[in-house]
Every structure is written in C-alpha cells, then in structure tokens.
C-alpha cells in the first residue's frame, strides 16, 4: 500500500466502532476523494500509476477474495477500447516467459496454441448454446451445453459466450476454471473416470488410478497423444456399493475393478481401436 | 377435514389429473420391477431389461406383463435387483441368462426359483420376500416408502399411491401460516447436515420482504460416499417436487411471487433426467405453473446443474453458482433467508427435508414428532458403504444406535474382518471407534462425539484401513475443494495436509502432531464458511480416538494397518509360495523374479507397491511388513 498522503483521512470516514473501522485501523492506505460519491461510499478508487496509466489488469482477484462481496466486476459498455493495449501486454508477457510454452497449455489465457492433441472446432455446434443463452440460461448452464457440444470448452466458445452475455472475458474464464467438471482441454475418445469417493478410496481406488496412469503413460487429467484416452478422477459417482468404480464415457460403469482388471480393460480397448 | 366436507374444487382437480387405469398400488397385476438406480445400472440392468423384454416377446406376453423400471431399492450391494409381483419375489444379483427361468417359473407359473433367492449370510436360509430380509425388515421407511415401488417416470403411479394429496390438503386449507406451524410442530430439522429447524427457516423467509421469494432444493450432494439425495431424486422425484410446492406455498402465498430451483449435481445424469421428466409432467397436469389446481397459487421450478464443486453445497456458494459466478461463499452476517439468490429472501433445504414434508402434512406433525429422540425427530436416510456385508441405502428412526445400523441392518463386517471405525458426515464429519457403537444417532450426540450427521454418508472401515491415510484422504479432498477465498481454509488445510503426509511417511515429530491440533483450531475459528470450519474434523476425531495409531507412525515409525507406503514393504513368504508365476506375470515393473515351483523374491528397488501381486496371489504368500525401510534400501519415492 502506498503511504497515506492525507494522514488518517481514510479512517476518519468510518464511524468508530464499526466493523470496517476495526478492520481498517492501523492500516495506512491511499485514500482518494471521489468526485461523484459521498463520503465513505467509495474508499478504493481504480488506481492509476504516477505516469497516468491504469494499474488494474482486470485480474478479478479483488472480486474473488473480498470477504464481504462488496466488489462486483461488470461488463462496461462505455469502454469500447480497453484502457491498455491488450496485444502489447500479451506480447510482453509471452516474451518474459522461459521457452515457448508457459506450461499451462490451453488453460493459460496468454498462450495462443498449446502443443499436443487439438481437434478442429466446428462452430456450428455452438448455435444451440447461443439460443440457450438468449433463452435466459445462466453461465454455468451455458458451459454445460458447450461442453456437451465440443467435449470441452474451447477458448473461442468462451469468448463468444462472454460477448453474448455481455460479461468480461476474465469473468467467464474465471467461472469456467473454477468448476472441476469443465475441461479447458480437448478430451480423448474414451474418457475414463475413476471414482475417488470414500468407499472407493477404502476399497483401493488410488491403486486403480495409479495402474491406469501407468498403463496409459499419462498423469491424471491428461489425454494420450493419440487422442484415444483421457484419464480423470471424479469425487463420487454414488455407486458406493460397487467400489472401486470406474466409469467409461457417460454410459458404461464398471464396479469392483481392481488395478489388474483396470489394466486389462485399457488393453482391451486399445486392441479394439488398433483393430478397427 | 370435517366428515361433512365435500370434495372441494382442488380435490376434484387433483382427481381429474390422475389416470386410474395406470397400474394401482396393490392390485394383483403381474409385474416385473427392475431396479434402475445408479448402482444396479452399473451392475447390468440394461442387459437385464433387454432379456426380460425378449423373453416376454418370445412367450407372447408383451403388454400383458408390465415391466417397470423403479428407483433404487436400497440394497445396492445385491444389484441388479428384480422384484416379481404380485407375489413380491425378490431376486438379487441377476444375470441376463437367469431371466428365462424366472419368467417361466414365477411369472407364467406360480413357483419360486430357489437357486436365485437372497441367502441370509448368517443362517444361509433362502428368503423370498423383501420383508423377510433383515436389511429391509429393520428399517422404517418414510421418505423411501415409495422408492422401488413406483415408476419414477410415471406421475400416475405417484398419484395412485396418494401423491400430491398433501399439496391438495394444503391448498384446500388456504392457510400458509398453518403449514409453517405444522412443520415447526413436527420439529423437522434440515437433513443437509447442520440440522437447522426447517419450520423456523420457512418463517424467517416468509417474514423477510422482497420482490420475489426463492425456494431452492439443494441436491448438490458432494460428500464422497453419500448417495441418499440421488436415490430419492431417482426413485421418487415427485415427492421432492411436492415438498417444494408446499414450501413455496407456505412462504409465498399472499406474500408475492415465488420461484423454485433445484441445484443438482451434474454427476447424477439419471437423477437430472428423471427430475426433468417429472417437472414436465407435473407442469402438463397443472401441478406446477400458473394457478396450481385452480387454487390461484403459481409456482414453477427450474433445474440448475452443478459442475463438480463441493463448496457449492454451501448456501451462499450455491446461490452464487446459480447466478453464474464462481461458487464462492460469502460471510454469513446476513443469512440467505434475508439476502439470498439475486439478493432476494431465499429458502434453501435439502432433498430429504423436502421429501419429508408431504408425509408430515398427510400424517400430522404429532405422528412425525413421535418418532426419534427428544431433539431429533423423524427418520434419517443413510448410505451405508465400506467394508460391510449389506451396503446400500437405509432409513431408520433417529436415535437408532450405530450398532443396530451397522450390524443388524448392515449385516456386520465382511468375514474375517474386524470393525475399526465408522465415518459419518463425509469430509466434515469424523470417525467413531467401536467403543461408541451404542451411541444413538441424532444431531447432538454425534456432534458431542466429534462427528456430525452430515447428509448421511456412513462409511465403515476395518482393520485394513490406516486411520492416518483415511484422515489424509478427507483433508486432501477439502484442500482440493477449498474455493480459495479465505486464507485459513486455503492455506491452513494445505499445511495440515503436509503434516499428515509427513506422518504417513514416518518423518513427523511429536511436535508436528501438536501443531496439527493448533492449526485445526485456527482453521475452525477463522474460516469463512463451514467447508473450512469443519475441514479439520476428520483429523481431530482421528487424533481423539486413534491417537495410538497416529503415534505409531510418529514414534515407532510403522503403519499398523500396513497402508502407508513409505512404511511398508512387500515380501514373499518362502514357505507359502508355490512358485506359480502368477504374481510374476502380473507385476507391472518386473520386480518379482524366481524360477517356476521355487519361491519368488521381490526386488525392493523396483517394487512400486501397487498391491497387484498380493491381490492375484492365491496362497496368501505375499505378506506386508511394516517399519522404516525406505532409507535403508535406497528406494526411490
């Protein structure tokens, strides 16, 4: 925090004994008088650096961490242009990265095209999602529809959702990355979900995950380079009596599957694919 | 209702909705009921249904014998389950090839296929009817009463079993305050875990002014190892809808518009599908929508799917998620009943709470309050899983003891295994040892024992489970699911996990255990929501009841249950090994060597402790030793 230039001006606006006063006392922070707002209404201004440039990078962190939810970031139609040059910022950020990729793959907003398995995106599939949004569905529902159409959430789709819903992209991406069910990377033909519920854990699910990960030579959450298998874990599929449970795609569920059987299952599937 | 009272407009409207020709409750119609719960689906009900249909077609019985796919029967361990009516014969663990015989004997004829009946694990006696089986006989089913009896896709089935009569009763009386009085008198407490009185919540919500009131059903059953809500939604979705309409009426009638949401996990595709269908049919018959049954009251329900975030079961995170934000909770200085979804007064109850409401309205609050203990009334559904003989879904009156549930209904431990602990309440609850088995199950006594009711997950573990590893599992879960908003939960759980990892690696000190307790207190004190506030519970209860086992990891550096990898090693018992080469072939890292018919050996440097060899060995020749070996052997961790 910058040193206060107006003494304890920031604190004086708060009535003594109020909750905010308790929080703020003893902290020195920069206080700016806001022209259009009354006293005590807006304590924090969008901070500009000394050279007049904006210091806010729309990371939305303030909105996320505020314990009393007094910050809300919204789409702002009057800002046609962003206050800073996005392309230049991105180029600078990429230049500062070691090597070519930042390592986060498509999950990284900065990196344009991550290496690895990347299918073409047919944007025709996206039309029903747009229709749904116009019908009043929420953001999370829109993601579900998108994931159903593409198998994951491609960046272009997220950008379109942001535009359609008049939300900042940071917000859309923030929500998409929060929920563990939404995938930001494409998935393979066979999605293997290993249940990690309590009953499955007790019955040895960690061993099953390990066996599968070894057999497929990928870590959990990744897709094999040939695009055939994706290995994931889920919290609980609710078939606890059959623990340990492995789900293949949306329809097939295998119960009482030990590490050895799991390996056999993968080998069988691979054989089918190679044979086909 | 006075005896002279005639059928009101609403009663007539309700009766007109029901199609009486749809198969009735206890008529003599021949019927094959196949359980279509998630567990039975996983164990092959699709193949079973196909076999039933082809066999019936071959015999020219299609249309004469009804094939009904019901919701979960509860006895998931024995799936897939088929019940043949009118005799009510119960056939568990069926294969498609058994269908032919069953139809020939029990549907066409009047016999029983003895071979396929359920055998009592203790006496070995074959039992033909659900009511004879201890698992069912000792339960008391209110919420689950119709589960397994009705077709979740048929509104007529529900109506013919007395469905929506509670709604008609409420709409007839036209007194929303009286509904709240009744629910308050019944002492129904929230079944989501915290046990807040439902009637009180409704009253607060009604009293709070707003442009619109919201009634939300929380079906985001994130607890690993719990599936009660899923089974209710899958088996009897209309009971939840009816409960929600009654709640909406109690909160909103004469008080402005009300809107409903069901927030359901995306991981439950059947539940979503059946709920969606139930909502559509209810809307078609005017049980939902504008002017319900001509009463002038309007209400509709939307489905909102979660996306795999455990924290979204928390009320404020749930509303944030519906609004399209990251599912992060806020401080609860203002409750959701005042400022919830879209800033409006919001009533949020669990699936099971809503499903109890129609029963309370129909049977009166006194009948409900007569069940249970002094502070906790009615029944509670538990999903009993883990190392018990009869896993599944059970409903018992509050106040039943853990021993009754686990041993009488659950059939006790698997043969040759010893009871070690029962875990209640999922990642927010705790483990209880054998000494507390006679503890009655109600909200207060479980909290006093260091666990909690939670939504009703009950996982039984035996002597092969390491309590440190078990606590680590839950903490890992909460650390991963922490939304990251507040520091105590985000950082604190991570640090606790690190200490636990040190303990299970045999690298911890006695001070570490003390630090764990201190940290737990701080996290409970400082967290914003109950995810953090209850995250240390599994660790604390482990330290309370299984301290010796924890200290064995710290002081003797061994894992008594032989689970924690850095402290164990797989060996081969040269006397028991027959040299059959089975383990040798199964070992993924070729760590096992030896000639045929000679005792094998395991190369500890190559062994990754995947347990495969021990599982494939038919001679129990691969015992696990525990102690601190890793350093001595230069094993790569």
Tokens 């440039």 correspond to A53
How many domains does chain B contain in total? Answer: 5
**Integer Rg of chain B from CA:** 27
Structural domain includes residue B488: yes
Percent of chain A having pLDDT more than 90? 2
Measured CA angle at A219 (ends A202, B535), to 5 deg: 45
pLDDT-derived band at B248 (thresholds 50, 70, 90) equals very high
Q: What is the pLDDT of residues A148-178, one digit of tens each?
A: 888 888 888 888 888 888 888 888 888 888 8
A133 preceded by a cis bond (ω within 30 of 0): no
H/E stretch holding B127 reads strand B126-127
Structural domain includes residue A228: yes
Q: How far is CA A228 from CA A113, A187, A225, B45, B491, in A?
A: 20, 8, 8, 28, 37
Q: What 8-state DSSP symbol labels residue B567?
A: G
Partner-chain contact A238 B227, CB within 8 Å: yes
In terms of DSSP bridges, do strands B457-462 and B379-386 run parallel, antiparallel, or are they unpaired?
Answer: parallel
pLDDT for residue B2 is more than 60: no
**Residue B532: alpha-carbon gap to chain centroid:** 22
Query: Are B215 and B354 part of one and the same domain?
Result: yes
First to last CA, chain B: 73
Residue B347: phi and psi, rounded to 5, are -105, 125
Interface of A with B in 64-123 (CB under 8 A): 64-65, 67-69
**Integer Rg of chain A from CA:** 25
Predicted confidence at residue B629, as pLDDT, reads 67
CA distance B299 to chain A (A): 18
A223 forms beta bridges with A230
Give the span between the Cα atoms of B44 and B36, in whole angstroms: 10
> Quick check: helix, strand or coil at residue A138?
coil
pLDDT-derived band at B495 (thresholds 50, 70, 90) equals very high
Predicted confidence at residue B260, as pLDDT, reads 92
Average pLDDT, chain A: 71
Measured CA angle at B533 (ends B532, B538), to 5 deg: 85
Give the span between the Cα atoms of B255 and A248, in whole angstroms: 49
pLDDT for residue B450 is more than 90: no
pLDDT for residue B413 is more than 60: yes
Give me the mean pLDDT over the B32-46 stretch: 83
pLDDT for residue B551 is more than 70: yes
Predicted confidence at residue A103, as pLDDT, reads 42
Final residue in a domain of this structure, among B534, B556, B578: B556
pLDDT for residue B498 is more than 90: yes
Q: What is the pLDDT of residues B574-611, one digit of tens each?
A: 888 888 888 888 888 888 888 888 888 888 888 888 88
- Residues in B closer than 8 angstroms to A68, CB to CB, are 330-331, 333
Q: What is the pLDDT of residues B500-512, one digit of tens each?
A: 999 988 888 899 9
Give the span between the Cα atoms of B591 and A263, in whole angstroms: 17
Structural domain includes residue B7: no
B392 forms beta bridges with B384
Higher pLDDT, A165 or B237: B237
pLDDT for residue B22 is more than 60: no
Predicted confidence at residue B542, as pLDDT, reads 92
Query: Are B220 and B298 part of one and the same domain?
Result: yes
Give the span between the Cα atoms of B293 and B174, in whole angstroms: 13
A237: domain range?
190-275
pLDDT for residue B4 is more than 60: no
Residue A181 forms contact with B (CB below 8 Å): yes
pLDDT for residue A28 is more than 80: no
Residue A141 in tokens: 């529902």
Interface test with A, best of B35, B36, B38, B455 (most A CBs within 10 A): B38
- Residue in A197, A207, A234 nearest the CB of B225: A197
Residue B389, domain CATH: 3.10.20.600
Partner-chain contact B612 A211, CB within 8 Å: yes
H/E stretch holding A132 reads helix A127-134
Give me the mean pLDDT over the B501-524 stretch: 90
Kindly provide the ipTM of the predicted complex, given to two decimals: 0.78
Task: Please spell the DSSP secondary structure of A139-193, one letter per residue.
Answer: HHHHHHHHHHHHSS--HHHHHHHHHHHT--HHHHHHHHHHSTT--SS---SEEEE
Closest CA to B255 of B288, B198, B206, B296: B206
Interface test with A, best of B305, B394, B427, B610 (most A CBs within 10 A): B610
Partner-chain contact A259 B610, CB within 8 Å: yes
Partner-chain contact A198 B457, CB within 8 Å: yes
Structural domain includes residue B150: no
Structural domain includes residue A258: yes
Partner-chain contact B39 A243, CB within 8 Å: no
Q: What is the pLDDT of residues A224-236, one digit of tens each?
A: 888 888 898 888 8
Predicted confidence at residue A113, as pLDDT, reads 45
Predicted confidence at residue B376, as pLDDT, reads 87
Structural domain includes residue A236: yes
Predicted confidence at residue B519, as pLDDT, reads 92
Closest CA to B462 of B521, B519, B414, B523: B414
Closest CA to B612 of A269, A221, A212: A212
Final residue in a domain of this structure, among B368, B402, B423: B368
Give the span between the Cα atoms of B35 and B70, in whole angstroms: 5
Give the span between the Cα atoms of B192 and B194, in whole angstroms: 6
Predicted confidence at residue B414, as pLDDT, reads 84
Partner-chain contact A235 B222, CB within 8 Å: yes
Query: Are B394 and B430 part of one and the same domain?
Result: yes
**Residue B573: alpha-carbon gap to chain centroid:** 41
Q: How far is CA B585 from CA A262, B577, B616, in A?
A: 15, 15, 10
Give the span between the Cα atoms of B279 and A225, in whole angstroms: 43
Closest CA to B451 of B427, B473, B434: B427
Partner-chain contact A241 B423, CB within 8 Å: no
B512: domain range?
468-556
- Yes or no: say if B239 and B232 are a contact pair by the CB < 8 Å rule: yes
Partner-chain contact B612 A259, CB within 8 Å: yes
- Yes or no: say if B186 and B230 are a contact pair by the CB < 8 Å rule: no
Number of H helices and number of E strands within chain A?
11, 4
Other Cβ atoms less than 10 A from the Cβ of B499: the count is 19
Higher pLDDT, A93 or B281: B281
CA distance B64 to chain A (A): 30
Give the span between the Cα atoms of B377 and B197, in whole angstroms: 11
Give the span between the Cα atoms of B221 and B454, in whole angstroms: 10
pLDDT-derived band at A5 (thresholds 50, 70, 90) equals very low
Residue A109 in tokens: 């907003």
Give the span between the Cα atoms of B474 and B472, in whole angstroms: 5
Predicted confidence at residue B21, as pLDDT, reads 56
pLDDT for residue A29 is more than 60: no
CA distance A162 to chain B (A): 12
Predicted confidence at residue A57, as pLDDT, reads 64
Structural domain includes residue B25: no
Average pLDDT, chain B: 85
pLDDT-derived band at B38 (thresholds 50, 70, 90) equals confident
Percent of chain B having pLDDT more than 70? 96
Higher pLDDT, A133 or B480: B480
pLDDT-derived band at B92 (thresholds 50, 70, 90) equals confident
Predicted confidence at residue A49, as pLDDT, reads 62
- Residues in A closer than 8 angstroms to B457, CB to CB, are 198
- Residues in A closer than 8 angstroms to B268, CB to CB, are 238
pLDDT for residue A24 is more than 60: no
H/E stretch holding A266 reads helix A259-275
Query: Are B58 and B177 part of one and the same domain?
Result: no
Q: How many CB pairs under 8 A join A and B?
A: 174
- Residues in B closer than 8 angstroms to A182, CB to CB, are 307-308
Query: Are B445 and B592 part of one and the same domain?
Result: no
Residue A182 forms contact with B (CB below 8 Å): yes
Other Cβ atoms less than 10 A from the Cβ of B333: the count is 9
CA distance B419 to chain A (A): 14
Predicted confidence at residue B239, as pLDDT, reads 92
Q: What is the pLDDT of residues A90-148, one digit of tens each?
A: 666 666 655 444 444 433 443 344 445 556 677 777 777 777 777 777 888 888 888 88
Query: Are B163 and B125 part of one and the same domain?
Result: no
CA distance B267 to chain A (A): 6
Structural domain includes residue A245: yes
Predicted confidence at residue B626, as pLDDT, reads 84
Size (chain B), residues: 637
H/E stretch holding B33 reads strand B31-35
- Yes or no: say if A175 and A162 are a contact pair by the CB < 8 Å rule: no
Give the span between the Cα atoms of B447 and B445, in whole angstroms: 5
Structural domain includes residue A239: yes
Query: Are B186 and B331 part of one and the same domain?
Result: yes
Predicted confidence at residue A82, as pLDDT, reads 52
CA distance B186 to chain A (A): 30
Higher pLDDT, A50 or B517: B517
Give the span between the Cα atoms of B279 and B153, in whole angstroms: 10
Among A29-38, A259-268, B183-192, B492-501, the range scoring the smallest mean pLDDT is A29-38
Query: Are B343 and B331 part of one and the same domain?
Result: yes
Query: Are B274 and B409 part of one and the same domain?
Result: no
Q: How far is CA B61 from CA B24, B33, B359, B546, in A?
A: 20, 15, 37, 59
- Residue in A202, A210, A235 nearest the CB of B610: A210
Structural domain includes residue A54: no
Query: Are B324 and B384 part of one and the same domain?
Result: no
Give me the mean pLDDT over the B520-546 stretch: 90
Given phi > 0 = left and psi -120 to 50 = alpha, else beta, which region is B212? Answer: beta
Given phi > 0 = left and psi -120 to 50 = alpha, else beta, which region is A116? Answer: left
Structural domain includes residue A152: no
The strand ranges marked E within B41-125 are 66-70, 82-85, 89-91, 118-119
Closest CA to B45 of B86, B76, B23, B66: B76
How many domains does chain A contain in total? Answer: 1
Structural domain includes residue B602: yes
Final residue in a domain of this structure, among B137, B171, B200: B137
Query: Are B211 and B348 part of one and the same domain?
Result: yes
Give the span between the Cα atoms of A25 and A13, in whole angstroms: 11
Tokens 């009763």 correspond to B169
Nearest C-alpha in B relative to A245: B42
Evaluate the CA torsion angle B279, B281, B287, B291 in order and state its sign: positive
Query: Are B173 and B254 part of one and the same domain?
Result: yes
> Quick check: helix, strand or coil at residue B579?
coil
Residue A226, domain CATH: 3.40.30.10
- Residues in A closer than 8 angstroms to B477, CB to CB, are 196, 235
- Residue in B39, B225, B391 nearest the CB of A236: B225
Other Cβ atoms less than 10 A from the Cβ of A100: the count is 9
pLDDT for residue B89 is more than 70: yes
Structural domain includes residue B142: no
pLDDT-derived band at A241 (thresholds 50, 70, 90) equals confident
């Amino acid at each position: 925090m910058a040193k206060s230039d107006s003494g304890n001006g920031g604190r004086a606006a708060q009535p003594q004994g109020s909750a905010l006063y308790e929080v703020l006392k003893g902290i020195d922070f920069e206080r700016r008088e806001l022209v259009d707002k009354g006293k005590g209404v807006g304590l924090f201004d969008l901070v500009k650096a000394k050279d007049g440039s904006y210091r806010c990078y729309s990371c939305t962190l303030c909105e996320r961490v505020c314990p009393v939810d007094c910050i809300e970031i919204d789409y702002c139609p009057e800002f046609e242009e962003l206050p800073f040059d996005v392309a230049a910022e991105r180029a600078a950020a990429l230049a500062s990265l070691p090597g070519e990729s930042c390592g986060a793959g498509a999950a990284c907003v900065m990196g344009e095209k991550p290496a690895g398995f990347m299918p073409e995106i047919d944007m025709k599939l996206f039309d029903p999602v747009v229709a749904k949004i116009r019908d009043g569905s929420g953001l999370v529902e829109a993601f579900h529809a998108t994931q159903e159409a593409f198998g994951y959430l491609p960046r272009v789709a997220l950008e379109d959702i942001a535009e359609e819903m008049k939300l900042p992209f940071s917000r859309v991406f923030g929500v998409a990355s929060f929920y563990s069910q939404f995938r930001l990377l494409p998935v393979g033909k066979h999605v293997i979900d290993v249940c990690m519920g309590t009953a499955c854990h007790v019955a040895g699910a960690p061993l099953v995950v390990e066996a599968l990960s070894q057999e497929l030579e990928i870590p959990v959450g990744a897709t094999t380079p040939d695009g055939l298998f994706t290995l994931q874990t889920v919290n609980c599929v609710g078939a606890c009596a059959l623990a340990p449970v492995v789900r293949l795609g949306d329809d097939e569920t295998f119960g009482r599957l030990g590490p050895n059987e799991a390996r056999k299952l993968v080998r069988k599937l691979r054989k089918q694919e190679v044979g086909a | 209702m006075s005896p002279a009272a005639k059928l009101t407009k609403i009663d007539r409207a309700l009766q007109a909705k029901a199609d009486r020709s749809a198969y009735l409750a206890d008529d003599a119609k021949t019927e094959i009921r196949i359980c279509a719960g998630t567990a039975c689906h996983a164990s092959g009900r699709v193949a079973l249904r196909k076999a039933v249909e082809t066999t019936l077609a071959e015999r020219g019985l299609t249309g004469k014998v009804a094939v009904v796919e019901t919701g979960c029967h509860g006895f998931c361990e024995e799936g897939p389950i088929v019940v043949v009516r009118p005799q009510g014969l119960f056939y568990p663990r069926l294969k498609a090839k058994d269908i032919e015989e069953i139809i020939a004997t029990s549907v066409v004829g009047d016999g029983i296929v003895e071979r396929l009946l359920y055998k009592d694990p203790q006496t070995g006696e074959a039992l033909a009817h659900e009511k004879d089986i201890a698992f069912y006989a000792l339960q008391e089913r209110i919420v689950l009463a119709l589960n397994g009896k009705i077709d979740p896709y048929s509104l007529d089935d529900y109506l013919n079993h007395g469905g929506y009569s509670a709604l008609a009763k409420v709409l007839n009386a036209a007194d929303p305050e009286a509904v709240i009085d009744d629910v308050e008198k019944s002492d129904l407490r929230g079944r989501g875990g915290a046990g807040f009185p439902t009637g009180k919540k409704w009253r607060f919500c009604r009293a709070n002014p707003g442009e619109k009131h919201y009634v939300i059903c929380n079906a985001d059953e994130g607890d690993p190892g719990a599936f009660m809500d899923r089974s209710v939604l899958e088996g009897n979705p209309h009971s939840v809808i009816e409960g929600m309409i009654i709640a909406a009426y109690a909160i909103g009638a004469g008080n402005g518009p009300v809107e409903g949401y069901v927030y359901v996990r995306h991981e439950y595709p059947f539940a979503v599908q059946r709920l969606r269908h139930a909502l559509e049919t209810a809307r078609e018959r005017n049980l939902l929508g504008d002017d319900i049954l001509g009463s002038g009251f309007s209400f509709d329900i939307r489905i909102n799917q979660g996306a795999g975030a455990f924290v979204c079961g928390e009320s404020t995170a749930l509303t944030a998620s519906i609004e399209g934000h990251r599912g992060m909770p806020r401080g609860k200085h203002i409750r959701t009943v005042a400022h919830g979804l879209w800033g409006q007064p919001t009533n949020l109850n669990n699936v099971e709470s809503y499903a109890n409401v129609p029963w309370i309205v129909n049977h009166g609050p006194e009948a409900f309050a007569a069940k249970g203990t002094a502070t906790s009334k009615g029944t509670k559904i538990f999903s009993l899983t883990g190392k018990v003989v009869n896993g599944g879904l059970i409903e018992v009156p509050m106040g039943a003891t853990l021993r009754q549930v686990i041993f009488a209904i659950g059939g006790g431990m698997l043969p040759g295994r010893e009871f070690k602990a029962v875990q209640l309440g999922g990642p927010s609850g705790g483990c209880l040892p054998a000494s507390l088995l006679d503890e009655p199950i109600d909200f207060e006594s479980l909290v006093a024992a260091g666990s909690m009711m939670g939504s009703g997950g009950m996982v039984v573990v035996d002597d092969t489970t390491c309590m440190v590893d078990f606590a680590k599992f839950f903490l890992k879960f909460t650390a991963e699911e922490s939304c990251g908003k507040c520091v105590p939960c985000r950082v604190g759980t991570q640090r606790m996990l690190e200490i636990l990892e040190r303990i299970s690696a045999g690298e911890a000190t006695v001070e570490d255990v003390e630090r764990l307790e201190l940290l737990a207190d701080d996290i409970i004190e400082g967290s914003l929501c109950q995810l953090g506030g209850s995250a240390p519970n599994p660790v604390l209860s482990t330290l309370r009841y299984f301290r010796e086992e924890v200290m064995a990891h710290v002081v003797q550096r061994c894992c008594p249950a032989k689970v924690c990898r850095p402290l164990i090693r797989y060996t081969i018992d040269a006397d028991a090994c027959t040299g059959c080469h089975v383990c040798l072939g199964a070992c993924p890292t070729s760590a096992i060597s030896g000639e045929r018919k000679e005792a094998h050996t395991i190369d500890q440097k190559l062994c990754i402790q995947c347990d495969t060899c021990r599982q494939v060995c038919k001679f129990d020749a691969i015992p696990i030793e525990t102690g601190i070996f890793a350093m001595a052997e230069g094993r790569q961790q």
